[in-house]
């Protein structure tokens, strides 16, 4: 597994700082060891607070548009938790894509991603989407490949205008990648309110806040990489 995303997790960063602190203790450099240990504790506390997690999320997330226009196709990206029973829940990517299709906003529904495309297609077909309306792109392993490979399938079908479904914090990078491939994109992010964090005390650490902080840090890093590589 790629080590880079793991290195962006505040818990691992704090652990590494703790290791550095122990080494400094063994070298009898007690003041730098104490400072490093304090930084590690402060960072993991800071990163675990709802205030920080929500600030990072809100600065990154793409809001839903006021209205959703008709388009040539709906594109649902994999990477989300698959529905267990109810595929119509619009809080999931699958459910949001299904709702758009049921509303008649596009005649084609494309699912993309080597990890979930086949499972998404099967679930959507069981939920009433006929096979003729489904397109499957199951070779991509990242967002750049999602966009490139999906664009090839869509253009072959005469589709250039899409409704793009993914999570709010992923949408900026995903929409940029699809637009880079020459497609007109209307963003349709899933619901992502984090209500439990909003209600929680802002500066008391929580595991779900740490998880959200880590997700946001990875996404900021990915945005930087995509810009450097000219993928958005």
pLDDT for the residue 2:
64
pTM of the model: 0.90
**Sign of the CA dihedral 167, 172, 173, 174?**
positive
Tell me: do 3 and 102 sit in the same domain. Answer: no
Query: What does the mean pLDDT of the chain come to?
Result: 93
Query: Residue 26 and residue 196: Cα distance in Å, rounded?
Result: 43
Q: Residue 94 sits in a domain of what CATH number?
A: 3.40.50.620
pLDDT single digits (tens) 43-74 = 999 999 999 999 999 999 998 888 999 999 99
Whether 169 has a pLDDT exceeding 80, the answer reads yes
Longest CA–CA span in the chain (Å) reads: 70
Tell me: do 36 and 88 sit in the same domain. Answer: no
pLDDT single digits (tens) 95-137 = 999 999 999 999 999 999 998 999 999 999 999 999 999 999 9
Tell whether 37 is covered by a domain: yes
- Total domains, the chain: 2
As a 3-state breakdown, the chain gives helix, strand, coil percent values, each rounded to 5, of: 55, 10, 35
Tell me: do 42 and 82 sit in the same domain. Answer: no
pLDDT for the residue 1:
44
Tell me: do 94 and 32 sit in the same domain. Answer: no
Domain span at residue 9 reads: 1-47
């Amino acid at each position: 597994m790629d080590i880079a995303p793991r290195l962006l997790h505040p818990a691992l960063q704090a652990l590494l700082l703790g290791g550095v602190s122990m080494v400094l203790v063994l070298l009898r450099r007690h003041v730098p060891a104490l400072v490093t240990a304090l930084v590690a504790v402060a960072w993991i506390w800071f990163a675990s607070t709802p205030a920080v997690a929500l600030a990072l999320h809100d600065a990154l997330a793409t809001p839903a548009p006021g209205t959703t226009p008709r388009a040539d196709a709906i594109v649902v990206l994999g990477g989300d938790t698959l529905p267990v029973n109810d595929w119509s829940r619009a809080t999931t990517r699958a459910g949001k894509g299904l709702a758009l299709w049921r509303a008649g906003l596009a005649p084609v529904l494309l699912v993309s991603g080597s990890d979930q495309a086949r499972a998404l297609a099967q679930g959507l077909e069981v939920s009433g989407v006929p096979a003729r309306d489904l397109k499957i792109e199951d070779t991509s392993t990242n967002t750049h490949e999602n966009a490139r490979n999906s664009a090839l399938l869509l253009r072959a079908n005469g589709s250039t205008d899409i409704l793009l479904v993914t999570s709010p914090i992923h949408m900026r990078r995903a929409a940029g990648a699809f637009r880079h491939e020459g497609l007109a994109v209307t963003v349709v992010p899933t619901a992502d309110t984090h209500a439990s964090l909003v209600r929680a005390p802002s500066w008391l650490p929580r595991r779900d806040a740490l998880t959200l902080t880590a997700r946001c840090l990875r996404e900021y890093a990915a945005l930087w990489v995509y810009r450097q590589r000219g993928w958005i």
